[in-house]
Structure 1
Amino acid sequence: MPHRTFAFGDIHGEIDHLERVLERLPPLTEDDTLVFLGDYVDRGPKSREVVERLMRLPDAVPARVVCLRGNHEDAWLRIVDHGWDEFAIPVANGCRATVRSYLRDVDLPPTIDARTHEMLALTTGSFLPPDVVAWLGSLPFWYENEHGIYVHAGLPPLADGFAHPSDVERPALLAWSRRNAFIRDYRGKHVVFGHTPTAFLPQDLSSHTPDDPTDMWAGPNATGIDTGCGTGGFLTALELPAMRAYESR
């Protein structure tokens, strides 16, 4: 049996979807690797539970566990460091869901207004436990093995192609970049990415199921596996090199 890699798309606070996919994987061995592409928090109702599960996972499975940093983890680190209201406050980013998942069991004194407390937590990240902040800060922006390159968002362009992650001067670009050129023009070692929901990727390039735009997207040299978990979709994990998909739906 070759060494297998199981790459997981954006989870966004949906612990039930994560558990369902983990249960559907074949039995894991110490030769296997689990790669999580980032965006564990926000939007879904149980960001705290997802983070806690991933932090414990290396002790729960025989496989190697690699958790990458998505743009939502990167954003929370910026909020904790110096605030970033432009990301924290817009409803579409789903940051309130993360705050509420951590404050759900916190009893506030009657002298503290709950809305004021939530807004302060939202704009400062003060609710995040120190060990979680340290874990978020330790997450790498990319990973590579014999089967492919794994990033949250994509590879930034160069004059004559696309940069290898090791050559990117601003690694955060690997978590935030969203360029149509990468999706259409990248040719090189297989890249597995999330970040951009598959429904927005060019279906004419997908060799997986172009008739279902919400499904995994398989382009010429890159595979997108953000299938909308946290926004009414489902979670997808991709097994490499077999290119076998596991879904929570």
Structure 2
Amino acid sequence: MSGRTFAIGDIHGDVLALRKLLGRLPPLGAADTLVFLGDYVNRGPHSAEVVQLLRALPRLTPARVVTLRGNHEDAWLEIIDHGWPEFVLPRRYGCLESLRSFEGRPVPQPEEMPDERELSRLMRGAFFPRDVVGWMRALPYFHEDAHAIYVHAGLPLGPSGFLHPAQVDAPPRALLWLRDQTFFREYRGKLVVFGHTSTELLPPELSSYTPEDPADLWAGPCTVGLDTRCGRGGFLTALELPARLVYESRG
């Protein structure tokens, strides 16, 4: 019999929210699994600390720990391999926050731009330690167990319906980047738990969980969205399956 699975939404450099949420989960055992849905870096002030904690977790808990790739980790790998100034330069993506965190420097102001030295290092992702880059490259694109399919962004639509993650052509970047109202509204099948799209942007009329609060967890007919804007003014959310209990860092 499968143990419990705790799916945890986008963290975005907020290590305080991560610690608070982990402290609110019930005691975990070897049959349990923690599934992190990706987007550990950028925007929040403590990307390096988040990565450090996630990498240490397998030694700190008896539960299995699964850390999925998010589009922000994927973006940094693209920057490191090929460059991507269109992602680095807009301040809304929070790349400067990651650099400052990994270099142990002060958190930037919201509108602060990188200096010349920082810009050069940002453009190449040169501030990431080699072992962290290797860790990001090894992050899986999805996880599946008896309870659900877990993926960062969602499932793309194929000729005969929505594709299982294993059916998406490699590299399956659609699993990390898509924001498709068709998926949010029309997917029917095995439960899919995802992050990436802020819950306030998901169809509120379809949510069976606190529909009066669009910032909260979003629960559609066969999908659950967990990106409650952690690291950018929101909070971190976890869903326990199969009990469907909800845990939050706020309050």
TM-score of the two chains, using structure 2 as the length reference: 0.94
How big is the shift at 1:2? 5.6
Whole-Å Cα distance in 2 between the matches of residues 242 and 47 of structure 1?
Answer: 31
Output aligned runs, 1:170-189, within 5 Å: 170=170, 171-189=172-190
State the 4+ residue runs in structure 1 displaced beyond 3 angstroms: none
Report what 1:19 is aligned to. Answer: 19
Contact 2:153 2:179 in 1 (8 A): yes
Report what 2:97 is aligned to. Answer: 97
Report what 1:209 is aligned to. Answer: 210
Report what 1:200 is aligned to. Answer: 201
What do residues 35-75 of structure 1 show as CA deviations (whole Å, max 9, x unaligned)? 00000000000000000100111111000000000000000
Whole-Å Cα distance in 2 between the matches of residues 14 and 21 of structure 1?
Answer: 11
How big is the shift at 1:105? 5.0
Report the identity percentage. Answer: 58
Report what 2:67 is aligned to. Answer: 67
Whole-Å Cα distance in 2 between the matches of residues 76 and 242 of structure 1?
Answer: 35
Q: Secondary structure at the match of 2:115?
A: helix
Report what 2:224 is aligned to. Answer: 223
Whole-Å Cα distance in 1 between the matches of residues 239 and 121 of structure 2?
Answer: 35
Report what 1:158 is aligned to. Answer: 158
How big is the shift at 1:158? 1.3
Whole-Å Cα distance in 1 between the matches of residues 117 and 247 of structure 2?
Answer: 40
Q: Secondary structure at the match of 1:120?
A: helix
- Report the AA paired with residue 247 of structure 1: E
How big is the shift at 1:22? 0.2
RMSD: 1.3
Report what 2:109 is aligned to. Answer: none
Q: Secondary structure at the match of 2:102?
A: helix
- Report the AA paired with residue 156 of structure 2: P
Whole-Å Cα distance in 2 between the matches of residues 105 and 215 of structure 1?
Answer: 33
Residue 81 of structure 2 is aligned to residue 81 of structure 1: yes
Q: Secondary structure at the match of 2:193?
A: strand
Whole-Å Cα distance in 2 between the matches of residues 180 and 16 of structure 1?
Answer: 32
Contact 2:3 2:31 in 1 (8 A): yes
Give unmatched runs, 5+ long, in structure 2. 107-113
How big is the shift at 1:115? 1.6
Whole-Å Cα distance in 2 between the matches of residues 45 and 55 of structure 1?
Answer: 18
Whole-Å Cα distance in 2 between the matches of residues 118 and 29 of structure 1?
Answer: 43
Q: How many residues align?
A: 242
How big is the shift at 1:159? 2.3
What do residues 63-120 of structure 1 show as CA deviations (whole Å, max 9, x unaligned)? 00000000000000111111110111111111110011111259xxxxxxx8221101
Give unmatched runs, 5+ long, in structure 1. 107-113
Whole-Å Cα distance in 1 between the matches of residues 65 and 98 of structure 2?
Answer: 23
